[in-house]
Structure 1
Amino acid sequence: MTNNKQTAVVVCPGRGTYNKSELGYLARFHSDKSAFIERIDVQRKINGQPLIAELDRAEKFSLAKHTAGENASSLIYACAACDFADINRDKYDIVAVTGNSMGWYIALAVANALNTDNAARLINTMGSMMKGGVVGGQLIYPIVDENWQADPNRIMLINDLIEDASKQESDIRLYWSINLGGYAVLGGSQAGLKFAHSRLPMIDNTYPMQLFNHAAFHTPLLSSVSEQAMKEMEASIFNAPDVPLIDGEGHIWQPHSADSHALWKYTLDTQVRETYNFTKAIEVAIKEFAPEKIIVTGPGTTLGGAIGQSLVKFQWQGMASKADFISKQKTSPFLLSMGIPQQRELVI
């Protein structure tokens, strides 16, 4: 019997992907998954937090409410996990899972390295760490030109900026937080971000752009958060995944050999305090697993550009420019984003 399945790597999104246009995402696509969403809400009920379904069904999108870490994280998890469940397994063989930043927690969940209850608890705990006040912040800045070619001058500028920041007063703290395809996400203290804004030339009247309600994750500024998380979340809740997991260092956690204690330490210590290299995760995904498709779960579509830029960087399937990527997406899409209705239909 011929196996007509296509191999696919699934990518889970992080913060900043549930926005105004995503309001009602669960109601539109996942009205049949109320039992799963209720399980996510168990901990939220105990904590007196707004329920996921209520946030999703709100009449208006509230930037303050919907993007707050304690709400956004669980909302995005619910959308992404429900999307993952809708992937047509008769059509796609999922060979690996990865994610960007908070998307790593979701990847752990959909790969069954955490069960539903523990995943909901972890994501809600980490998302709520900033409830008493966001530690530092993040800004995003392009490191490629309009053709998605690496710009060595911009990369050097950022590296020099971070080095110069380390020589300033102690309140100026700045680090490379996420390597996000054609973008650098910098994390730092408010003084550090102000220092960056003063030194980085404006691009397209948009960048450098500070990310609203984002803390300085993946930097040493979150060391205390890491310590608190390791006290609250025990290593025993982690298991070896059902499918290979690719982390923010490009390491592959295999189903039959993953050390659950090491996975706990990476999740709550290493990746909280150190740079998350999403570009490396995509490189490993395509080079080690050679998937026929990359499927990005919703909500949102913001990861598409970063993944496309990564594919161009590694000239995957002959894509060497933004134009090449767009052309391929029009004729025979390699990247399928479930947040885009036409591409969603190719996945479910």
Structure 2
Amino acid sequence: MKRIAILCPGRGSYTEKTLRTLPAGHPWVVRADELRAEYGLPTLSELDRAERFSQVLHLRPANVSLLIWLVTMLDSHAAMEQDECVAIAGNSMGWYTALAVGGALSFDDGFRLVQEMALLQERHAGGGQILYPLVGDDWRRDAARVEAVKAALASSNGHALPSIELGGFAVLAGTEDGIRHLLGALPQVKLGSNTYPFRLMQHGAYHTPLVQPVSDAALETLARLEFRAPRVTLVDGRGVRFTPWATDVAELVRYTLTTQVTDPYDFTKSVRVVLREHAPDELVLPGPGNTLGGICGQILCAEGWRGMQSKADFEREQAGARSLVRSLRR
């Protein structure tokens, strides 16, 4: 039995390859469909069994968030039955999933948190997010790219802001004017086969003060959720731990519905704390896709974990007998 840490993905992980993966008749799938019906929304089973993938339908925040949440819940449960989970973290929306995976929320309340936040984000839509690499193809920090991000933010007149620290990437957010500014101010660069900067589809200005109305509404709409101390240690987007033996539940609620919504989210720091405080044998990535695989590799290299310094070092470790990162749906 391994000591694992589970890292839950954010909203950008769902693709057409995820269709038809929900196990028909599973109690969690049945219950999620019942809860969706209460909201007057298509069931997750209907979305999962669609003949073809639709960006408009499947990537709508109120749909994709719950599809990712449910797949991640199912994967995490299976991983925790097989190995000892010592810590759980998540990227952005993945924090909400982590709460349910770790037992700080029941299945129903975890569902409601994700569904209500997605609906609130649709209701208060505006602005967006872009992705930009801070490393080169070898995953070593590129000082010129770091400085380009700083300069683009500084020249945005407050319309663009940092959003997520994501391994070797910066996620930046802003108003529509801010996004246009970033797309024009940041020099085009390539990482692998992708060209950056690029805008994340149907993403708002998450983790910035621009979404304060979402936080305000969430405090009222989600006041009845029953938070509790987790069964497994949770690490949030500040690197703060909530443990089974020392959790201030009021602070957990406050962070989830206020700070997590309006302040930058540091996924890099959360993984760093997981590594340094819990030293897991393996980082397990549940849920759709493999969006966090390379990002976790970049964080491990930045940490010098097992002496790794570059992408080649990480790939060599992954090919060995003691792989560090396991994506459950790669």
Q: Same fold (TM over 0.5)?
A: yes
Residue equivalent to 2:227: 238
1:130 Cα deviation from its structure 2 partner: 3.1
CA deviations over 1:203-225 (Å, ceiling 9, x no partner) = 12620010000111101101010
- Residue 134 of structure 1 contacts residue 213 of structure 1 at CA under 8 Å; is this kept in 2? no
Please give the per-residue CA displacement for 1:66-98, whole angstroms capped at 9, x wherever unaligned. Answer: 1110001100011000011111634x1100000
User: Aligned partners of 2:317, 2:24: CA distance in 1, in Å?
Assistant: 33
Corresponding residue of 1:38: 30
Indicate the SS of the match to 2:244: coil
Alpha-carbon deviation of 1:20?
A: 1.2
Q: Would you say 1:148 and 2:144 are equivalent positions?
A: no
CA distance in 1, matches of 2:29, 2:288: 15
Name structure 1 gaps, 5 residues minimum.
341-348
SS in 2 for 1:87: helix
> 1:337 is matched with which residue?
327
Query: Residue 126 of structure 2 contacts residue 205 of structure 2 at CA under 8 Å; is this kept in 1?
Result: yes
TM-score normalised by length of structure 1: 0.91
Partner of 1:344: none
- Assess if the C-alpha contact under 8 Å between 1:235 and 1:264 holds in 2: no
Matches within 5 A, 1:24-63: 24-26=20-22, 30-31=23-24, 33=26, 35-63=27-55
1:14 is matched with 10
Q: Give distance in 2, aligned partners of 1:82 and 1:236.
A: 21
Instruction: For residue 131 of structure 1, report the CA deviation from its aligned partner.
Output: 2.9
Structure-to-structure mapping, 1:1-348, within 5 angstroms: 5-26=1-22, 30-31=23-24, 33=26, 35-87=27-79, 89-90=81-82, 92-132=83-123, 134-165=125-156, 168=157, 173-204=159-190, 206-234=195-223, 237-332=226-321, 333-340=323-330
Q: Take 2:148 and 2:281, find their aligned partners in 1: how far apart are those partners?
A: 36
Partners of 1:185 and 1:156 lie apart in 2 by: 15
Unaligned runs of 5+ in 2: none
Q: Work out the CA distance in 1 between the residues paired with 2:164 and 2:66.
A: 21
In the alignment, is the contact (CA less than 8 A) between 1:141 and 1:185 conserved in 2?
Answer: yes
Could you tell me how far 1:16 is from its partner in structure 2? 1.2
Shift of 1:146: 0.8
Aligned CA RMSD, in angstroms, stands at 1.3
Q: Kindly, what percent of the aligned residue pairs are identical?
A: 39
Q: TM-score, normalised by structure 2?
A: 0.96
8 Å Cα contact 1:235/1:260 also seen in 2 = no
**Counterpart Cα distance in 1 of 2:314 and 2:98:** 25
Write out per-residue CA displacement over residues 29-66 of structure 1, whole angstroms, 9 at most, x where no aligned residue. Answer: x3452x21222233321221110011011000000111
Equivalent pairs counted in the alignment come to 326
Q: For the residues of structure 2 that align with 1:11 and 1:58, how far apart are their CA atoms? A: 28
Per-residue deviation at 1:133?
6.0
What is the one-letter code of the residue matched to 1:117? Answer: D
